[in-house]
Amino acid sequence: MAHRIYANELEMLHECVETCNYCLESCLEEKDVQMMVDCIRLDRECAAACAFLAEAMTRDSAFVPELARACAVICKACAQECGKHKHAHCQECARVCTECASMCDRLAA
């Protein structure tokens, strides 16, 4: 068995899931929640995609590159939307998603 070691990648993905879900929850608490609707949607997508990719890695999936390709697109979209908002949770989420997207790009290559 060629069990790949993905320790750093898993840590990055878990961090991205947590950051996106924290951002989503924080957006729901914002007074201007109406402004945060796209952010909420993208946080949800990104958390789901990163969690799915992490699970695939732990089962030593042969399709990590294909899944990482899709995940990179989603992370970038989430980073772009979060980057539009000044809230600390959005800025932090934009930063983590950008980093995670870069990692996914490498995995997809």
Q: 18: exposed, middle or buried (C-beta count within 10 Å: 0-12, 13-18, 19+)?
A: middle
**Coil/strand/helix, residue 86:** coil
- Using the rule CB under 8 A, is 10 a contact of its own copies? yes
CA torsion through residues 93, 99, 104, 105, sign: positive
Cβ count within 10 A of residue 54:
20
- In angstroms, what is the minimal distance from the CB of 90 to its own copies? 15
Q: Rule CB under 8 A: which of 49-68 touch its own copies?
A: 49, 51-52, 54-56, 58-63, 66-67
Task: Report the interface residues with its own copies, using CB under 8 A.
Answer: 1, 3, 10, 14, 17-18, 21-22, 24-26, 28-29, 31, 33-34, 37, 40-41, 44-45, 47-49, 51-52, 54-56, 58-63, 66-67, 69-70, 73-74, 77
